[in-house]
A and B are shown apart, each in its own frame.
Chain A
Amino acid sequence: MSHYLDISHISIEFPTKNGPFKALDKVDLKIARGEFISLIGHSGCGKSTVLNIVAGLYQATEGAVVLESKEVNEPGPDRAVVFQNHSLFPWLTVYENVELAVKQVFKGKKNKAEIRDWVAHNLELVHMSHALHKYPAEISGGMKQRVGIARALAMEPKVLLMDEPFGALDALTRAHLQDALMEIQAELNNTVILITHDVDEAVLLSDRIVMMTNGPAASVGDILSIDLPRPRDRLALADSPDYNHYRAEVLTFLHQKQAKPDVPIVAKSATATPADAADTDQKLDKVVGA
């Protein structure tokens, strides 16, 4: 049987001064259409690398990513990415940021009026219609990330890739955005891969949680199906034994099976630059230090 998105035995090696460094070893994952998957693991385990390979920003050394029976080799709007640090163009307004992507992706397919409506519609989805003509510097971090999500959704991706999209936000804002994302998900039923280091976020949002082993040569450790009914409500779930059971399982995996006695769990700083470059650096440091 063919899967919607098939991440098939991918490995990746980065060249370093001390020879090649294997970051991922045969990561294998099949994802169905409309499924919401979270990738969770310790810092530096290569979660972001998996995402970047699916996005086409990195090339796997071995294995392949197949989306709807077509191999993925380069970046494209059918695999839109929401980056950790919103990555909005600071010289464009909220509207123009989304418009730039829409114009490029639907070149020749939508006319001017349709483009305008489509941009407005997607910003409406993330409740940002009130700030269309503000610049990114004029809106809060949470709002920027909403716009980043709108930009990705506007590309009508087959798979939405989210790289710790809420990692740089405070807890309350993060909760708001998680709720917003669940609302959108209920409406659009996108296929989503979410990178996170937040256990609650993973359990609340996902259909399945993919737990990754520690790098180097990280791979899929365990997969946990979350059979909680939707729509999910964070308050109701807080007391639910099922929810707490799932939570406990993820925590056990992270802190017992894959505990890292030698490396303290590094909290991602809010200002961290490209998450993924930082991840790789950490990995390289560890390899060199070992």
Chain B
Amino acid sequence: MFKQNALHYLNLAGFKWMIPVVKLAMWDNPREQGAEIARQIGLPIVAILLFLAMWSTGAAKVVTSLGTLPGPGAVVEAGQSLWQEHKAERQKAEAFYERQHKRNEAKLAKNPDAEVKIRPYTGKPTYLDQIVTSLKTVFTGFLVASVIAIPIGVACGLSPLLNTAISPIIQVLKPVSPLAWLPLVTMVVSALYVSDDPMMPKSFVNSAITVTLCCMWPTLINTAMGVANIDKDLINVGRVIQLGWMTQVRKIAIPASLPMIFTGLRISLGIGWMVLIAAEMLAQNPGLGKFVWDEFQNGSSESLARIMFAVITIGLIGFILDSMMQSLHKLVAHDDAVS
């Protein structure tokens, strides 16, 4: 029972490749598990090694104005140096607060009524800070997109007339690149988002809105399709028991189309993450996009390796976000039986 549950959750969490390892640990048909491990884990490792070999031999032959293209080794080093910089910056920050603290204590000892302040540290953001900024931006944009797209999608699914009416608008806006949206968004935000003490920096708002504009469409379209294609009998059941319109939407339309909605959300988040990097470059939002851009402008001998490290980071985070959405999707999908 425990084993079944454990395997079920691994599958749900997207760690399907772990299943044979767990089974092997429980000594469940070890020979078969060995073969399964070789297939599920061994083959990808072989492919990765081959890829790395091709990369390092190929990269060495490309000479750019910033030196030869870095191979895997240089990229790992770049990653390590980014980590060192992060630690150093954190130590500096700690030291900064420590000094303030001491100064304040001294002040208070002299005069217990003295007013003391803690000034925030204003060092430059480290690589990890930039990752966090990017994630915050993408989730803000994605959340806003979902909040807009799901209700409109439900409305379109329920009303073929509405769907016919706004479908052309959706089809035209859907393929627009983030680079085209951004200048417009920047101008509109500058005009409307005026405040002396803004809660969020403008660059953040610009990037998030650009993400919203680009990633809301798959959710909207999938939601509309999911709602429009609900089994007619399920709706008839609702009519027979005389559910009110709102209850019908809440208890039948939305749960029935949840798997489709999540398919849309998954695509949306993927697009949002892709779009974000470009938006951050242009909007100068201090995330991974700005990091890549700054390194490119910087043009030191280390820059290319750092950019490549960023590329790999972006890819990995995108992969993690997608697996996360896939797990959520499996949780809400009701058609596949629990084995």
Contact = CB atoms under 8 A, between A and B. Distances in A.
Given A87-B234, A105-B242, A273-B232, 20 more contacts: A57-B236, A57-B240, A75-B239, A75-B242, A79-B240, A85-B233, A87-B231, A87-B236, A89-B256, A91-B256, A91-B258, A100-B251, A101-B241, A135-B337, A135-B338, A137-B335, A137-B338, A138-B337, A151-B237, A155-B241
B256 A75 contact: no
A80 B240 contact: yes
Interface in A105-144: 105, 135, 137-138
Instruction: Give the interface size bracket for A toward B.
Output: 20 to 34
Interface residues of B, number: 22
B334 A277 contact: no
Interface string B230-260: 0111101101111100010001100110100
B336 interface: yes
A80 B237 CA distance: 9
Contact of B240 (A77, A89, A138, A277): A77
A184 B236 CA distance: 24
Contact of B242 (A76, A90, A91): A76
Given A87-B234, A274-B232, A81 B240 contact: yes
Specify the main secondary structure of chain B where it touches its partner.
helix
A57 B237 CA distance: 10
B336 A57 contact: no
B234 A104 contact: no
A255 to B, nearest CB: 31
A246 interface: no
A165 to B, nearest CB: 12
Of the listed residues B233, B236, B239, the one surrounded by the most CB atoms of chain A closer than 10 A to its CB is: B233
Of the listed residues A79, A90, A277, the one surrounded by the most CB atoms of chain B closer than 10 A to its CB is: A90
Contact of B241 (A56, A77, A85, A137): A77
Given A89-B255, A91-B258, A155-B241, A135 B233 contact: no
Interface of A: 55-57, 74-77, 79-81, 83, 85, 87, 89-91, 100-101, 104-105, 135, 137-138, 151, 155, 273-274, 277
Contacts of A74: 239
9 contacts: A55-B236, A77-B242, A81-B240, A83-B236, A90-B334, A104-B247, A135-B334, A137-B337, A155-B240
Contacts of A135: 334, 337-338
Contacts of A138: 337-338
A76 B240 contact: yes
Interface in B194-235: 231-234
